Structure 1
Amino acid sequence: MQGRKASVIITYNGKNASTKLNEYLQSFTYTDVASGESDSIDIVLSNIDKKWLGSWFPAKGDKLTVSTKLTNWSKTGDKKFKCGDFTLDEFSLSGRPLEANIGALALPVKESFKTTDRNKTYKKVTIEEIAKEIAKRANVKLVYDAARIDIETIEQSENDCDFLFDLCEKYGLGMKVYSSKIIIFDEAAYEKKRSVVTIDESDMKSWSYDTTTNKTYTAAKISYTNPKTKKDVSITVGEGKHVLKISEKADSKADAEKIAKAKINNANKKMTTMRIVIMANPKIVATSNVTITGLGKLNGKYAVDKVVHSIGSGYTMTLTLRLIQNRIGEKTNKVYASGKNANYIVKQGDTLWAISKTFYGASTKWKNIYDANKEVIENAAKKHGKANSSNGNWLWPGMELVIPNVEES
C-alpha cells in the first residue's frame, strides 16, 4: 500500500484551479461548525513569483467550491470530502517570505442575508415557514430537520442571518449555513444519534479537558405576561436550588416551557468540554457524536461542536467536543434496582433532587440519599477544595452512591 496523501480540490469562480493552487499551497484550514457561525476556510499560498500581486489578484466576493481528497487514507484508493461553497471575504499579502492568505465564508450568494437589517412582523407562522421565506430571499435551499414549532407573533429588527439564528436558539434548535443551504436541526434529537466513531486516548495526538460545575443549573423559572389575560405568569422547569431566571415574551404556557427548556439546556450543555487533535477521519462532522475511551472518568459520548481540518505537513482534525448529558425537563430512562438498596454512579449534571425523583418518584426524599452517603459526599467535596458539600449541593461524576429503601418508597 502506498503512503497516505491529502490534497485540496478547489474550483475558483467556476474553473478548476486545483493543479495551479496546490503547487503553491502552504497550508489549508477548514472550520466546520455545528451551529451559530458560518463554516470557513483559510488558505495560505506561496507568492514567490508574485502572481498574487498581478494577474491572480482576487476580488472580494469571488466564489470557491472546496473539497479535500484523501489517497490511501484508510483503504487503497481515493476518497473525497466536500467542505462546501464559499465566498471570499478576506485577502491579505505579506513578505518575506512572500505569501498570500485567502479567507472565505460559507454564506449565501446574496450579501443581504448577513448585512441588511429588516423590520418585519411575523404572525401565526411556524419557524420552518419563517426559515423558508428567509432562504428564498437568500437564494439558498432550506433543510429543516426538527418538529413543528408555532409562533403566534414575533418582530424582526436585524439581518436575516442573526434573526433566524436567535430564533432557533430560543427554541433549542441549531442552525448553520453549509454548501448553499440553511440547515436547521433539533439539537436534543441529534444528541440521541449513535456515535459515528470511537476515539481512544491512544488515537489522540493531544487532548485537553475542562469542566465548570459551578455553572450548572438544575431548574429554570420563566416569567412572562399572558397575552390574553395580561396577567404575569411564572413557570418552573426542573427542580433544585440552582435556578436560571428567564424573562422572555411567550405566547402561552406551552410556549414558555419550550423557551425555558431551551434556555437552561443551552446554558448547561457546555459545562464539560474536550478539545482533541486526531488524524483526519471524514466520518466526523460537526453535529455528529463520538465516543471517547481510554480516559477513565472522562469516557463517554460527546457531541461534536466544531471540527478544524488542517492540511500542511499532514492532515489533522481538531475537535471541540461537549459531553452529552441528561437534559432538564425531558424524560429520562427509569433506573430500576434490585433489593432494598440500589447503587448509582453520579453523572455530569446530576443532583440529589433529580436522583431522588428518579428512584422515589419525588425529589423531596433527597435528604435520605444524602444521609446514607454523607461521608462519601463530604470527603469528595474536600478533595475538590470545598469546605463542605453544602448539604449535598455539590456532586462529582464517578461518585458511587447508595440509594436506600428503594422498594419501600
Structure 2
Amino acid sequence: MKSRRSYINIIYEGKDITGELSPYLKGLSYTDNLDKGDSVTLSLTGDKWIKEWAILKGDKLKVEIGVINWRNEGDNRVLKCGTFTIDDLSFSGTPDTMNISGTSIDITKNLKGVKKDNTWENVSLKEIAQEISKTYSMDLFYDCTEEFTFDKVDQMKESDSSLLARISKEQGMAIKITMDKIIIFDEKTYEDKETVITFNKSNLMRYDLQCDDLEVYDGCELTFYDPILGEYLKGKYEAPASEFYKVKTGKILYQNIDTGVTGTTKEEKEKFLNERAKKILRNMNKNETKIKISHMGDPEYLAGITTKILGFGRYDGVYLITSVTHDINKGYNCSLDMRRRLDF
C-alpha cells in the first residue's frame, strides 16, 4: 500500500498561499462546532509576518484539509473547512512564532459586536431571524418543525447574534452562525439520525468521560397565562428514570413562558405546553453524560454526526458529536467532544 499522508490548502484574500506558507507552517488547528461559530488557528515560524507581510484583522482565510491513501489505497478526501475572518494575532519568541486565529463569523459585520436596543412585538422566532439575516445579507436555514411566537421580545444592550442565541435556547432550539448563513435547528433531529461511526475504547488515544448532575432535572413545569381563556395554563413533562441514578433527584425546573401557544381549546393548548416542557427539559439535561476522545484524524469527523461508543459498559450508547478539533502538527489527529443521546 502507498503511504498515507495529510495536507492543507490555504487561500488568503483570494490567493492560494499554500506553497509560500509551507516552509514556515508549524501547525494548523480547525474546530467544527455544532451550535456556535467554527474557528481556525495557524502557527507560523519566523518574523516576516510582522515585517514584509503584514497580516491584518478582518482579512479572509479559506482552509481545506485533505488526505491521500488514508484508510486504504485510493482513499483520497478533502474537508472544506470554510472561510474565516482573522480576529486575533499573536507573536511570541524565541524562536519567533506567529499565531493567526480566525472565526467563521464575519467580524467586519455588526452581527456579533454591536449591542442594540430594540423591541419586537407579535413576532415569531423565524421572523426575527429573517429580518436579522436580511440586515446582514445572510441566508437563513430554519430547520425547525414548529413556529415559536412571542407577544413581546426586548433586546437591551444585546447584539443581534446574542439575541438570536438567547431566544432560540429558551425554546429548546440551537443556533449556529457562519460567514454567510444563520442556522436555527432542533438538535433532537440530529440525535435521531442513524449512526455512521463507531468508536471503541480499545482504539482511542485518550478519553475523558463525565456524568454531570449540576443542571440535570427530573421534570419541567411551565406556566402560561392565556388572555383568551382568561386563566393560567400549565404544562409539564417528567423525564424517564436515569440508569445513572439510584433514585430520582426530585429537581424540577419551573418556568413562566410568554411565547404564543398553539391551539384553541384548553386541552389543545396544554398538550402544546407539555411538548414545550419536554423540549426545554431536553435542552437542560442534554449534557448529562459527555465524553471527549482523541483519535487518528479523519475528514469525516464532523459536528452533528451521531456515533456509537463501545467499551464503556453502562455508558455505551449513541453519542452526538458537538465539537471536533482537527489538528495537523507532525501528524493528523482529532479531538472530539460528544454527549450521550437522551432517552426522550
TM-score band, normalised by shorter chain: 0.7 to 0.9
Greater mean alpha carbon deviation, residues 247-256 or residues 50-59: 247-256
Q: Is the 8 A contact 2:107 2:113 kept in 1?
A: no
Match of 1:245 in 2: 254
Q: 1:65 maps to what in 2? A: 62
| CA 1:215–1:89: 2 relative to 1, 3 Å | closer
User: Hey, what does 1:163 align to over in structure 2?
Assistant: 163
Aligned residue for 2:111?
Answer: 113
Code of the aligned partner of 2:321: V
- The two structures, once aligned, show a CA RMSD in angstroms of 2.1
> How far 1:264 moved relative to its partner?
1.5
Question: In the TM superposition, what is the alpha-carbon distance from 1:155 to its structure 2 partner?
Answer: 2.8
Equivalent residue in structure 2 for 1:139, among 137, 161, 165:
137
> CA-to-partner distance for each residue in 1:10-37, whole Å, 9 max, x for gaps?
11111111111222111111111111x3
For 2:99 and 2:211, how far apart are their aligned partners in 1? 36
Tell me what 2:264 maps to: none
Shift of residue 59, structure 1, vs aligned partner = 1.0
**Preserved contact between residue 31 and residue 308 of structure 1 (Cα < 8 Å):** yes
Structure with the larger RCO, 1 or 2 (CA within 8 Å, 6+ apart): 2
Aligned ranges for residues 299-378 of structure 1 at < 5 Å? Answer: 299-327=316-344
Residue of structure 2 in register with 1:397 after alignment = none
Question: 2:87, 2:107 within 8 Å by CA — same for their partners in 1?
Answer: no
| 2-structure distance, mates of 1:233, 1:147 | 23
Q: What residue number does 2:201 align with?
A: 201
Q: How far is the alpha carbon of 1:248 from its aligned partner? A: 3.4
Q: What is the match of residue 406 of structure 1? A: none
Deviation, structure 1 residue 77: 5.3
Rounded to whole Å, the distance in 2 between the matches of 1:152 and 1:298 is: 39
| Rg comparison, structure with higher value | 1
SS in 2 for 1:164: helix
**Structure showing the higher strand proportion among its residues:** 2
Quick check: 1:287–1:304 contact (8 Å CA) kept in 2?
yes
Higher helix share: 1
Partner of 1:378: none
Summarize the Cα distance change of 1:250–1:133 in structure 2 as closer, same or farther, 3 Å threshold.
Answer: closer
Please, which of 287, 309, 312 is the counterpart of residue 292 of structure 1?
A: 309
Provide, for residues 207-251 of structure 1, a one-character-per-residue CA deviation record: whole Å limited to 9, x for no partner: 111112465322111234334466544432226733112233333
Output the amino acid matched with 1:64.
L
| 1:103 match | 101
Give per-residue Cα distances to partners, 1:148-176, cap 9 Å, x unaligned. 31313323332111111112111222111
Matched ranges for 1:21-60 at <5 A = 21-35=21-35, 37-47=36-46, 50-60=47-57
Give the letter for the 2:252 counterpart: V
Please give the per-residue CA displacement for 1:76-108, whole angstroms capped at 9, x wherever unaligned.
253110111110000011110110000111113
User: Structure 1 CA distance, aligned partners of 2:117 and 2:274?
Assistant: 27
CA distance in 1 between partners of 2:206 and 2:63 (Å): 27
- Change over 3 Å in CA distance of 1:44–1:214 after alignment to 2: closer
Structure 1 letter corresponding to 2:25: L
**TM-score, normalization: structure 2?**
0.87
Q: How does 1:164-313 map to 2 (within 5 A)?
A: 164-213=164-213, 215-228=215-228, 231-238=231-238, 241-252=250-261, 253=269, 256-257=273-274, 259-313=276-330
Aligned pairs, number: 324
1:334 equivalent in structure 2: none
Q: Determine if contact 1:219/1:264 at 8 Å carries over to the other structure.
A: yes
Residues 127 and 151, structure 1, Cα contact 8 Å, conserved in 2: yes
* Contact residue 26 and residue 45 of structure 1 kept, 8 A: yes
CA distance in 2, matches of 1:185, 1:155: 22
8 Å CA contact 1:289, 1:302 repeated in 2: yes
SS at match of 2:105: coil
Q: How does 1:380-395 map to 2 (within 5 A)?
A: none
SS class of match (2:292): strand
Distance 1:6 1:54 in 2: 30
Q: Contact (CA 8 Å) 2:209, 2:292: kept in 1 or not?
A: yes
Q: Tell me the percent identity.
A: 29
Q: Which moved more, 1:284-293 or 1:209-218?
A: 209-218
d(CA) in 2 for partners of 1:126, 1:108: 25
Q: Secondary structure at the match of 2:26?
A: strand
TM-score, normalisation: structure 1: 0.74
